[in-house]
C-alpha cells in the first residue's frame, strides 16, 4: 500500500444532537438496551445536554468538534405518504389513534447517532483526490431508513460550495434492498499513521448473500451487507489494495452487538477490539497487521465476555487524538461499574507502549438506554484545512456557539417525555420552533421541509 503524507489534514468529530422527540419505543430488535427501555419516560433535555457535554470536553482538549443538526421529527410527510390527510396536527392525531407505533417510528431521534449517517473517505485517500461522502440507506429498520434522504440533504447543504468547486462528491445512498443494507461508518474503520497519510479502510459486514454457506446469526438480524460494503468502496473511489473486508462474528451479533463499533474501535493505529469480534478473527487481524503501513497498537480484550461489551459499550468509546500527540479514551460511565472492563481500561492506560494515556468517563444515560454510546454519537471526517474552511454554515462549535446551543436546548426541550406525548400537537410545534431556531444558530436556513 503506497504511503503518502499531508499534515494539512485533521480529523473532526461531527456530533449528533438528540431531537426534541427523544424517546424509548423499542424500534430496533437486536439492540438490547433499546428493547429493555421500551415505554420508559425519556428526558430529551438531559439527552441533548449530555451530548453537548461531550462536545465541550473535546473543545477543552483542543479538538475542533462540529455538529450535525437533528432531523425533523415527527416526520409528518411520512405519515401523509401513507394516506393520512388533513392538517399536520390532524394527521398526527389520526396516525396515533390507528397505530401508536407508527407515530413512534416517525418521531424517532435515532439520527442523533451520526456514526450511521454516512461513510466518508478523505480526499487524501481517493483515486480522484476529492472528499467522498455516501449517506447510509439504513435499510434494516423502517425508523432509520427514514433518515437516508435527510442525511443526504444535510451533507449536500454543508458541502455545497466544495461540491461546486469539484472538491467533494456527495453520493446517493446505496440502493435500499434486503441484500444491500448499509449502516454507515459504524461498520467502517480507517487506519493511518497520520490522518493525512494514505489510509487502510476496513469494512465490516454481518451477512453475505453471494456466499450462502457463510456463517449467519440466528437470533438478531445482521444489518450490514457485504454487497453494500463493496458498493461503498466503488462509490468512495478507494483503491482495492487499500481495502480489507471482514465479517463480524455471528455469535457477537446474536449477543446484541449489531454494529462493528460495539465490538471494535480505532484511531490511527490504536485498535481496541474483542478477541472474537470477527469470523476467522485471527485471520482478519493478521490481514490488518500485514496491510497497515504504520505501527499497529493492538489492544485485544481477552478477559471480557461479549455480555460485558454489550452492557458497558466499552468498544463504543471514542479514541481521541490530542494536540500533544497522545490519545484519550472517552467512555461511558457504565464502564466504571464493571470490574473486568475497568481492569481492561487500566491495563491500556498504564501501558507506556500504546498512545492511549488516559480515560474520561461521561454520563450518557439517555443515549445508552436507547442503545448508543460515545462513538455512536459522532461521525468522523478527515478534512484538509481548505475543505474545512469551504463548509457552509456554522458547523464547528466554539465557546460562544456552545453557550447558544445550551440555551437553545433549555428553551426548547422538554424535561420529560412519555410515549403518549408523541401525539401531542404542541410537541410538533415545539419541535419545529426548535429546529427553526437551530438553523439560525447554524446559519443553515431552509434546511427542513416545513421551512421550504
Backbone φ, ψ for residue 328 (5° rounding): -125, 140
Please tell me what DSSP assigns to residue 319: E
Residue 152: all three cell numbers together: 443526504
Starting from the edge strand earliest in sequence, which strands make up the sheet with 270-274, in order? 264-267, 270-274, 297-301
| DSSP per residue, 61-81 | TT---EEEPPPPSS-HHHHHH
Q: Which residues contact 139 (CB under 8 A, 6 or more apart)?
A: 145, 176, 177, 178, 180, 181, 182
Residue 275: all three cell numbers together: 478477541
Instruction: Give the Cα-Cα-Cα angle 15, 17, 20 (nearest 5 degrees).
Output: 170
Cell 416517525 identifies what position? 106
Burial of 121 per CB tally in 10 Å (0-12, 13-18, 19+)? buried
Of 183, 165, 193, the residue nearest 225 (C-alpha): 183
Is the backbone peptide bond immediately before 74 cis, with ω within 30 degrees of 0?
A: yes
Cell 462513538 identifies what position? 375
Instruction: Give the Cα-Cα-Cα angle 45, 51, 52 (nearest 5 degrees).
Output: 90
Dihedral class, residue 419 (left if φ above 0, else alpha if ψ from -120 to 50, else beta): alpha
Instruction: Give the Cα-Cα-Cα angle 24, 260, 44 (nearest 5 degrees).
Output: 25
| DSSP per residue, 143-183 | HHHTHHHHHHHHHHHHTHHHHHTTSEEEPPPPPP-TT----
Reported in sequence order, the residue ranges of 227-274 that DSSP labels E, i.e. its strands, are 243-247, 264-267, 270-274
CA–CA distance, 344 with 65 (Å, rounded to integer): 28
Q: Which residues are part of the catalytic machinery?
A: 183, 259, 376
Amino acid at each position: 500500500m503506497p504511503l503518502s503524507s499531508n499534515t494539512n489534514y485533521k480529523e473532526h468529530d461531527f456530533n449528533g444532537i438528540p431531537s426534541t422527540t427523544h424517546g424509548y419505543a423499542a424500534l430496533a430488535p437486536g439492540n438490547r438496551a433499546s428493547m429493555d427501555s421500551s415505554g420508559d419516560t425519556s428526558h430529551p433535555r438531559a439527552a441533548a445536554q449530555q451530548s453537548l457535554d461531550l462536545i465541550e470536553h473535546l473543545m477543552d482538549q483542543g479538538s475542533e468538534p462540529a455538529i450535525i443538526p437533528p432531523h425533523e421529527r415527527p416526520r409528518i410527510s411520512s405519515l401523509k405518504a401513507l394516506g393520512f390527510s388533513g392538517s399536520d396536527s390532524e394527521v398526527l392525531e389520526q396516525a396515533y389513534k390507528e397505530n401508536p407505533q407508527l407515530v413512534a417510528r416517525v418521531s424517532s431521534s435515532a439520527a442523533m447517532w451520526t456514526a450511521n449517517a454516512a461513510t466518508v473517505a478523505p480526499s487524501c485517500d481517493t483515486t480522484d483526490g476529492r472528499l467522498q461522502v455516501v449517506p447510509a440507506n439504513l435499510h434494516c429498520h423502517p425508523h432509520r431508513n427514514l433518515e437516508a434522504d435527510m442525511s443526504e440533504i444535510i451533507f449536500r447543504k454543508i458541502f455545497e460550495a466544495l461540491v461546486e468547486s469539484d472538491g467533494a462528491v456527495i453520493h446517493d445512498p446505496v440502493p435500499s434492498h434486503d441484500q444491500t443494507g448499509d449502516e454507515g461508518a459504524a461498520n467502517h474503520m480507517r487506519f493511518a499513521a497520520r490522518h493525512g497519510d494514505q489510509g487502510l479502510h476496513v469494512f465490516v459486514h454481518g451477512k453475505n448473500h453471494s456466499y450462502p454457506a457463510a456463517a449467519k446469526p440466528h437470533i438478531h438480524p445482521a444489518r450490514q451487507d457485504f454487497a453494500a460494503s463493496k458498493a461503498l468502496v466503488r462509490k468512495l473511489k478507494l483503491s482495492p489494495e487499500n481495502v480489507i473486508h471482514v465479517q463480524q462474528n455471528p455469535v457477537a451479533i446474536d449477543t446484541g452487538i449489531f454494529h462493528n463499533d460495539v465490538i471494535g474501535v480505532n484511531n490511527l493505529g490504536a485498535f481496541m477490539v474483542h478477541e472474537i469480534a470477527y469470523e476467522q478473527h485471527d485471520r482478519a487481524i493478521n490481514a490488518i497487521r500485514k496491510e497497515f503501513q504504520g505501527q499497529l497498537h493492538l489492544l485485544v480484550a481477552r478477559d471480557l465476555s461479549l455480555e460485558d461489551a454489550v452492557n458497558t459499550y466499552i468498544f463504543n468509546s471514542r479514541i481521541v487524538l490530542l494536540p500533544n500527540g497522545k490519545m484519550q479514551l472517552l467512555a461511558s460511565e457504565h464502564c466504571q461499574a464493571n470490574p473486568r472492563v475497568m481492569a481492561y481500561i487500566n491495563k491500556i492506560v498504564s501501558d507506556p507502549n500504546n498512545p492511549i494515556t488516559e480515560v474520561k468517563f461521561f454520563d450518557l444515560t439517555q443515549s445508552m438506554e436507547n442503545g448508543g454510546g460515545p462513538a455512536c454519537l459522532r461521525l468522523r471526517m478527515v478534512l484538509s484545512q481548505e475543505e474545512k474552511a469551504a463548509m457552509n454554515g456554522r458547523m464547528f462549535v466554539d465557546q460562544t456557539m456552545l453557550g447558544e446551543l445550551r440555551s437553545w436546548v433549555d428553551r426548547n426541550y422538554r424535561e420529560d417525555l412519555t410515549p403518549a406525548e408523541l401525539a401531542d400537537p404542541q410537541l410538533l410545534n415545539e419541535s419545529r420552533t426548535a429546529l427553526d431556531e437551530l438553523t439560525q444558530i447554524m446559519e443553515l436556513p431552509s434546511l427542513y421541509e416545513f421551512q421550504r
